[in-house]
A and B are shown apart, each in its own frame.
Chain A
Amino acid sequence: MATKLSPKQYVERAERLSGGHRLCAGCGAGIIVRQLLMGAKDNPVVVSNATGCLEVSTTIYPYTAWKDSFIHSAFENAAATISGVEAAYKSLERQGRVDSDKPYKFLSIAGDGGSYDIGLQAISGALERGHDIVVACYDNGAYMNTGFQRSAATPRGAWTTTSPNGKVSIGKTQPRKNLTAIAVAHGIPYVAQASPHNFRDLIAKAETAFETPGPAFLNILSPCPRGWRSADEMGMALAKMMVESCWWPLYEVVDGEYKISYDPKNRKIPIRDWMKQQGRFKHLFTPANEEFLDELQVDCDREWERLKQLAALSTPADKPVAE
């Protein structure tokens, strides 16, 4: 993994997404993009972006917030589109037809709808073909751009407009799909989970992803005050709590070896702590649902233990995990 630098050193890197875009106050997506692009250092980047909040808010014609080259084609094909750009670069570079001092880097970015659901096939194809690209997902847990519909990333029990709680429903009944594990199953050289509240970790992971030859996948937790029904200013604090609860663990998988990037150990908090600050879970906080909340906690703990076992299988016993 790339060395984590001090905040001061990161501040010296160029801002590559300009202000004035139309993302909501408190949205994680713009923050994540700025951190990801810091990871590209001073290499030029071509960004392929799926249809969604990020795209509609940053490229309102005739304006663009992107200082790098950017392409949006459709919802499900950001990864396929970047495949084509990368193939073009390889071909033109080989022919001496790219006029650039620094090598180009290629980033595909989509929300959870464009990654877990409608874009999954294109991501899988691009990862399998081995393009030298970074595929990132900003996961806010629903189709927020169209008004909070459930996706395969929506947490079990969450209210969305297509998984509403009602007299006979508790909200979304199914557990989340584990997209990070699916990416790992492709046998690609680098996969990581990150959160923007820990920006040193995220930028270092982005840097590693960009520098790793071949495909890399980053799954990034993205606060959404509108869809989470949470306070605008609480986004980073909530992301931190979700990581502290080990519900969104920070880890990386390098050539199949699991490494946990952050283990809260005895500071691990219950998932209820952040759930009760998000209106999408409000209906669960009744005496009748205590057992269901306990079940969700058991699910979270089991996944965390499983991840630790995978890391233990990968890590020599004398090599401690960062605290």
Chain B
Amino acid sequence: MSTQTKLQAVTGNQAVAMAMKQIDPDVVAAYPITPQTDVVQTYSQYVADGLVKSEFVTAESEHSAMSACIGSAAAGARTMTATSSAGFALMWEVLYVAASMRLPIVMTTVNRALSGPINIHCDHSDSMGGRDTGWIQIYNEDAQEAYDATVMGFPIAEHAAVRLPLMNMYDGFIISGAIGPLRALSDEQVQDFIGQAPPYPSLLQPKNPATFGPFDGLHGWYFEHKVSQNLAMEAALPVIQDTYDRFAELTGRQYHHLMTYGMEDAEVALVTIGSSAGTARSVQAKLRSEGIKVGIVKPRTFRPFPTEEFAQAISGVKAVGIMDRADSFGAQGGPLYLEVLAALYQRGVSTKTVNFIYGLGGRDLYPQNIEEAIRTLQSAADGGDLPNSRIYLNLKGAQ
């Protein structure tokens, strides 16, 4: 454990803005949207005060912000941005372009519900809607995780075997605006950790002009390009873990694709992403004192999807509840549920499963809602049945 700065009390957005300042990317191109706004505002002040060397492109929309990021990254500049919700949705077209050009852009996505009806509060429908864009996706529980993941962004994204854009998520308002504890690294530690990007062709090499984004039609290589993106995703899984491990050597904070809590002897398990994992752990402590052997699985890496890790973590439990803060209308459940089920089926893990949908549009998730979910799982473990349909937590009226 090396020297880290003292414990600070900051919001999630402040933590990420601090990490961005320490990374000091060549270019930041962004557009303001609630609840991401103060990342952009704080960074603007760093630029105004000459604390960073970054060029700041104040784009006129998120579509243009991501487009400018694409131009910048293709020109060989370390490039960052941040967005939320509708802004993420407006970027959607060009998120695919960024990934297919293999541009290691690092983006903060502060999770917020999508319209309509319009709602500014947290759920995961924005980034979950972008899960197939070809970006690496890391979900964070609190300000510390968001800070750490931001520092780890470029070493993963720029890795020669990966070369993919990366987005970091944390919960809008709950984390972005709430004050929590943070142990930051020193500027030198951050710069040493991120190092220099490996060389790659760029638009600004006069002796070697390059064409980016050519037409690749019916008789071309489009299919092969898509396959290569998937190979890069597969290669990213160990690179992400290596980066987590290297970060642990520096900080003592050890991350995994899945963070597991009390899974060693668990009879039932709850899988949950983001800030709700903290609430789940506090309920877990209470129920364990009553003799309910409940474990918590918190996925951090969602793209690439850690299939093997899920199969190993959940193997042995009698019932598992998968919590989604986004829905997939008309499907059997939310996106996390569907992917966990596929992982379990593929790896031959047979257990009772159910999908809990919670927190859409910022609906509170109270400890008693999680307790209710865990008790449902326990009764299934004791021989009861679980419904095939979703169970909504803290839904008004219907329950």
Binding site for B on A (CB under 8 A): 44, 46, 48, 55-56, 59-64, 66-74, 76-77, 80-92, 94-95, 97-102, 104, 121-122, 124-126, 128-129
CB pairs A–B below 8 angstroms (26 shown): A44-B209, A46-B75, A59-B215, A64-B211, A72-B215, A81-B67, A81-B71, A83-B29, A84-B73, A84-B75, A86-B71, A87-B55, A88-B73, A88-B75, A88-B76, A88-B79, A88-B204, A89-B204, A90-B55, A91-B54, A94-B53, A99-B205, A99-B206, A99-B207, A101-B206, A121-B64
Of all chain B residues, the one with the shortest Cβ separation from A95 is: B53
Distance, CA A71 to CA B206, complexed state (A): 15
A128-B60 contact, Cβ under 8 Å, with A85-B74, A90-B55, A91-B77 = yes
> Across the interface, do A55 and B204 meet the contact criterion of CB distance under 8 Å?
no
Question: Which residue of chain B has the shortest Cβ distance to A93 in the bound complex?
Answer: B204
Chain B residues 176 to 199 lying within 8 A of chain A, measured CB to CB, are: none
Known contacts A73-B94, A129-B58, then 9 further A-B pairs from the complex at CB < 8 Å, ordered by chain A residue: A46-B75, A66-B211, A69-B204, A70-B209, A71-B74, A84-B67, A84-B74, A88-B73, A88-B76
B60–A61 contact, CB under 8 A? no
In the bound complex, residues from chain B placing their C-beta under 8 Å from that of A104 are: 204, 206
User: Residues of B with Cβ closer than 8 Å to A?
Assistant: 26-27, 29, 53-55, 57-61, 63-65, 67-77, 79, 93-94, 97, 101, 203-207, 209-217, 220-221
- Please tell me if the beta carbons of B93 and A74 are within 8 angstroms of each other in the complex: yes
**Roughly how many angstroms separate A56 CA and B217 CA in the complex, as a whole number?**
9
Contacts A46-B204, A74-B97: A83 and B53 contacting too (C-beta < 8 A)?
no
Shortest beta-carbon distance from B248 to chain A in Å: 31
User: In chain A, what residue has the closest Cβ to B26?
Assistant: A91
A100 adjacent to B53 (CB under 8 Å):
no
Assembled-state Cα–Cα distance A128/B73 (Å) = 22
Pairs A-B, 4 closest by C-beta atoms: A84-B71, A125-B60, A84-B68, A88-B77
A56 to B214, CA, bound (A): 8
| Inter-chain contacts of B69 with A (CB < 8 A) | 84
Which residue of B has the minimal Cβ distance to A44? B206
Which residue of chain A has its CB nearest to the CB of B31? A125
Query: Which residues of B have CB within 8 Å of A89?
Result: 75, 204
Min C-beta distance of A74 to chain B, whole Å? 6
CA of A122 to CA of B68 in the docked complex: distance in angstroms?
10
What chain A residues lie within 8 Å of B93 (beta carbons)?
A: 74
Take A66-B209, A71-B71 as given contacts and tell me if A85 and B203 are in contact as well, using a CB distance cutoff of 8 Å: yes
With A80-B71, A88-B71 as contacts: A122 and B209 at CB distance below 8 Å: no
Inter-chain contact A77/B63, CB cutoff 8 Å: yes
Contact B26 A88 (CB under 8 A): yes
* A86 surroundings in chain B (CB, below 8 A): 71
Neighbour of B59 across the interface among A61, A69, A83, A91, CB < 8 A: A83
**A98 to B205 CA separation, bound complex (whole angstroms):** 8
Q: Report A-chain residues with C-beta under 8 Å of the C-beta of B63.
A: 76-77, 80, 122
CA distance A186 to B83 in the complex (A): 27
Chain B neighbourhood of A61, CB < 8 A? 214-216, 220-221
Q: How far is the CA of A44 from the CA of B210 in the complex (A)?
A: 12
Contact between chains at B27 and A87 (CB < 8 Å): yes
Chain A residues near B57: list those with CB within 8 A. Answer: 83-84, 87, 129
Nearest chain A CB to B217's CB is how many angstroms away?
7
Q: Which of these, B26, B58, B68, B76, contacts A81 with CB under 8 Å?
A: B68
Contacts of A55 in B (CB 8 A): 215
Most buried by B among A61, A74, A85: A85
Q: Which residues of A are found within 8 Å of B72, using beta-carbon distances?
A: 84-85, 87-88
Q: How far is the CA of A213 from the CA of B207 in the complex (A)?
A: 25
Q: Is the CB of B203 within 8 A of A71?
A: yes
- A44-B209, A74-B93 in contact; A84/B60 too (CB < 8 A)? no
Chain A residues whose CB sits within 8 angstroms of the CB of B70 once the complex forms: 71, 73, 81, 84
| A168: min CB distance to chain B, Å | 37
B65 contact set on A, CB distance < 8 A: 80
Write out the residue numbers on chain A whose beta carbons fall within 8 Å of the beta carbon of B207: 99
- A91 touches which one: B53, B64, B101, B220 (CB < 8 A)? B53
Residues of A close to B216: CB separation below 8 A = 61
Known contacts A83-B71, A84-B68, A125-B59; is-contact A91 B215 (Cβ 8 Å)? no
* Pairwise interchain contact B61-A125, C-beta atoms closer than 8 A: yes
Q: Could you tell me if A95 and B205 are in contact, using CB atoms closer than 8 angstroms?
A: no
Q: Which residues from B are CB-within-8-Å of A68?
A: 209
Cβ of A105 to closest chain B Cβ, rounded Å: 12
Contact B97 A92 (CB under 8 A): no
B contact residues around A90 at 8 Å (CB): 55
With both chains docked as a complex, state the minimum distance between the C-beta of A92 and any C-beta of chain B, in angstroms.
6
CB of B207, distance to nearest CB on chain A (Å): 8
A73 touches B55 (CB 8 A): no
Check A59–B29 contact: CB distance below 8 A.
Answer: no
> Is the pair B209, A80 in contact by a Cβ cutoff of 8 Å?
no
Distance in angstroms between the alpha carbons of A185 and B212 in the assembled complex: 32
Known: A77-B63, A77-B64, A85-B72. A64 touches B53 (CB 8 A): no
